[in-house]
Structure 1
Amino acid sequence: MERDDLIEFYFNLGLKYKDIVQTLDLHGISISERHLHRILRARHLYRQKYDLDTGIDFIIDQLQGPGRDHGYRWTKCKQNGISIRKEDVRLILALLDPVGSQIRQSRRLRRRQYFAAGPNFIWHIDSYDKLKPYGICINGCIDGYSRRIIWLRGAYTNSGPKVIGGYFVEAIELIGGVPKLVRTDMGTENVVIRDIQRYLRSDDEDDRAGDGSYITGASNANQRIESWWGIIRKEGIESWITMLGELKDEGLFCEILISMEIILHPCS
């Protein structure tokens, strides 16, 4: 093969410019990388050439063939060696396939909108179980509007309704009232909080009085408290999880617990 044909061959294989120069040297052809660029330009070979016209033709061909149901096509353009911007692909699809674009847009995952009218409008309550295997059970409550931490407590359990209910009673005594709404997951550990909240709001006359003052849902959708768990893990708990996990893997964790039991409850 001639020199320029070899260059085009290795270029189409995807070799980097410096690798093409080194490979040509094995064929007894010595050129600089700068000269390689000139040869590639002369043969209209561009690695990052922006090719809008080819992109439009490719998308039209896709829409008229079996690829019409494949959705967003920027990745397919890249896979076929077409350099084109994502935004241009979106605009082309909106012009050529407005119905399909509208359908895809309607199925797009949208971020949930959060609303809290003011302080103590809604409290978010949840338990944090990452340290539970080591006997540290954390429960927390955060105000949805101000993100004030109403309580953050650790105990031997976070699944006892009376324990979690006790945190709630202490909080409303300290604040001097109850929130308009309480949001928890559907776990049985929250039944005491549910009953207290509904009872204390039973005589109110707003649209959220009584049973409507307590709402439940999936734990991972409890936005404010889930966000707080992410912060607390990053800022401090992660190191404890790592350390306790290492102790457990080395078989030392049980020995430490036994030693603590002896200290706390010495034999008579």
Structure 2
Amino acid sequence: MMSLTSSLSDCGSTIEGQGSPCSRECFVDWGTMSSENDIRCRTYNVPGPNSLWHHDGQHALIRWCIVIHGFIDGYSRLITGLLASNNNRAQTVLDLFLLATAIYGVLSRVRGDHGVENLLVAAWMEAYHGEG
């Protein structure tokens, strides 16, 4: 298993010092936070668990070679798959998806954006359920 420090240095990044355990407070002004900034859940009807999973990737940390992908059940909001990896390849996303389906079962539908990294998941769903 590779350490975080060595992974970051492989990407050309360096970590200076230990950092502060409360460094988050230095960047977030909690006094300006209000209910206007709260995350609101979209309301819609899903028949039940494993009817619809949502998938998305987060690329904000890409310059440190970290890409996060997640799958969430649309009915229960259960996180069915979450992975931080060093790439945005379709095979990496498919591997996470297959691991999640092995644990939680095969779902009816998956919703995601039209990114190239999602093509293998879409192809797997079409092969399993057929087009439609």
Give the TM interval when normalised to the shorter protein: 0.5 to 0.7
Q: Which position in structure 2 is the counterpart of 1:141? A: 71
Q: Which position in structure 2 is the counterpart of 1:197? A: 125
Structure 1 segments (4+ residues) deviating >2 Å: none
Count of matched residue positions in the alignment of Structure 1 and Structure 2: 91
Measure how far apart 1:174 and its partner are.
1.8
Question: 1:186 and 2:106 equivalent?
Answer: no
Which ranges in structure 2 are unaligned for 5 or more consecutive residues? 1-41
- Cα 1:147–1:113, aligned 2, differ >3 Å: closer, same or farther? closer
Question: 1:174 and 2:103 equivalent?
Answer: yes
For residues 172 and 120 of structure 1, what CA distance do their matches in structure 2 show? Answer: 9
For residues 46 and 86 of structure 2, what CA distance do their matches in structure 1 show? Answer: 33
Structure number having the greater strand percentage: 2
Quick one: which of 35, 44, 49 aligns to 1:114? 44
Measure how far apart 1:151 and its partner are.
0.9
Which structure has the larger Rg? Answer: 1
For residues 116 and 132 of structure 1, what CA distance do their matches in structure 2 show? Answer: 33
Question: 1:155 and 2:85 equivalent?
Answer: yes
Aligned-pair RMSD on alpha carbons? 1.3
Measure how far apart 1:113 and its partner are.
4.9
For residues 186 and 123 of structure 1, what CA distance do their matches in structure 2 show? Answer: 15
User: What is the CA deviation profile of residues 169-209 of structure 1, one whole-angstrom value per residue up to 9, with x for unaligned ones?
Assistant: 1111122x3111100100111111011111111xxxxxxxx
Q: Which position in structure 1 is the counterpart of 2:59? A: 129
Paired residues for 1:39-78 under 5 Å: none
Measure how far apart 1:168 and its partner are.
0.8
Contact 1:142 1:151 in 2 (8 A): yes
TM-score of the aligned structures, taking structure 2 as reference length: 0.64
Contact 1:150 1:171 in 2 (8 A): yes
TM-score of the aligned structures, taking structure 1 as reference length: 0.33
Measure how far apart 1:133 and its partner are.
1.6
Measure how far apart 1:152 and its partner are.
0.9
Q: Which position in structure 1 is the counterpart of 2:9? A: none
Equivalent AA in structure 2 for residue 137 of structure 1 = V
**Greater RCO structure (CA 8 Å; 6+ sep):** 2
Equivalent AA in structure 2 for residue 168 of structure 1 = F
Which ranges in structure 1 are unaligned for 5 or more consecutive residues? 1-111, 202-209, 213-268
Q: Which position in structure 2 is the counterpart of 1:248? A: none
